[in-house]
Amino acid sequence: MILVFGKTGQVAQELARTLEGKEAQFLGRDAADLTDPAACAARIAALKPALVINAAAYTAVDRAEEDAATAQAVNGDAPAAMAQACAALDIPFIHISTDYVFDGAGTAPFKPADPTGPLGVYGATKRAGEEAILASGARAVILRTSWVVSSHGANFVKTMLRLSETRDTLTVVADQIGGPTSAKAIAQACVTIGQALVDGQKAGTAQKGGLYHFSGAPDVSWAGFAREIFAQAGRAVEVTDIPTSAYPTPAKRPANSRLDCSSLAADFGIDRPDWRADLTDILMELGAK
């Protein structure tokens, strides 16, 4: 049985689709409150699944600046407790992290082993979770990703479509660069990684673990991403490039969110997905294409 923390988030919903027909249990807030790390660990100990995937997180980047305690509990303490429980029972563990653990300096893609430097509370708490998992002794894969989009929840694609209903011109940040990543692709990557971890466990080998990066290709600015959304959706919206400084937010965003995903391809055979093709699928599902 696969145990997934998370139920309503973008990746959790796509995991439910990807794992349809397989034995999997999804724990929402009602069944596993991530502000109570001990309760999360207790669920793992009670259920003894073959694999644990943590697809839940505190993702309100700006709100985290004023709610650091909750963000730390959900993003740092709960994953730590999950990893410790998995280590005790030798259960493989997959945890989804973020490009926000980096400071966004330079233009080169960040490699998994590069020094981190979070710019805000969200990134700092996610990094705390990573460090705790790596120290737990669990056979764990931490999958850092970026710019997650899908037909579910709140995300950039849905925001752009909503704004295009009433506006024919938009200003969008053009000096932040990264790889849009569909929740569906992340879910599929998690399942592939999970199978490799479980197969390694059955074979009695120390199957691959550690830090990996996964994001869509090619890298693009938010403004460029917006233009592709409107082009595919057939929306006549003019996008004007603006610098980050013209759109201030409580939490600072990394300017460079490029991720080097080569080790994931080498170790698990998972290549960067073309976000433009995934965008087509999302728009079709939303009835916007």
Active site (annotated) includes residue 122: yes
Mean pLDDT of 33-54: 96
In a domain, 112, yes or no: yes
pLDDT given for residue 202 in this prediction: 62
- The answer to whether residue 147 scores a pLDDT higher than 90 is yes
We report the CATH number of the domain holding residue 116 as: 3.40.50.720
Task: Print the domain residue range for 29.
Answer: 2-154+180-215+259-273
**Tokens 């603006």 found at:** 242
Domain total in the chain: 1
pLDDT given for residue 288 in this prediction: 85
Mean pLDDT of 112-130: 98
CA-closest candidate to residue 257, choices 156, 170, 129: 156
Of the residues 100, 122, 212, 247, only one is catalytic, namely 122
Residues sharing a CB contact under 8 Å with residue 48, sequence separation 6 or more, in sequence order:
89, 91
Mean pLDDT of 82-110: 97
CA-closest candidate to residue 185, choices 280, 81, 287: 280
In a domain, 161, yes or no: no
- The answer to whether residue 144 scores a pLDDT higher than 80 is yes
Mean pLDDT of 274-283: 98
Confidence band for 289, pLDDT divided at 50, 70 and 90:
confident
pLDDT given for residue 204 in this prediction: 53
* CA atoms within a 13 Å half-sphere pointing along the CA-CB vector of 45: 10
pLDDT given for residue 244 in this prediction: 96
pLDDT given for residue 199 in this prediction: 87
Distance between CA atoms of residues 285 and 46, nearest Å:
37
- Tell me the pLDDT of the chain averaged across its residues: 95
Mean pLDDT of 49-64: 96
pLDDT given for residue 14 in this prediction: 98
In a domain, 233, yes or no: no
- The answer to whether residue 21 scores a pLDDT higher than 80 is yes
In a domain, 224, yes or no: no
Q: Give the pairing type, strands 93-98 and 140-145.
A: parallel
Helix axes 78-89, 121-136, angle to 10 degrees: 10
Distance between CA atoms of residues 269 and 198, nearest Å:
16
- The answer to whether residue 222 scores a pLDDT higher than 60 is yes
In a domain, 81, yes or no: yes
Residues sharing a CB contact under 8 Å with residue 182, sequence separation 6 or more, in sequence order:
14, 148, 149, 150, 216, 273, 275, 278, 279, 281, 282
Q: What is the pLDDT of residues 159-207, one digit of tens each?
A: 999 999 999 999 999 999 999 999 999 999 999 999 999 987 665 555 6
In a domain, 133, yes or no: yes
Question: Is the pTM of the predicted complex or chain greater than 0.85?
Answer: yes
In a domain, 59, yes or no: yes
In a domain, 102, yes or no: yes
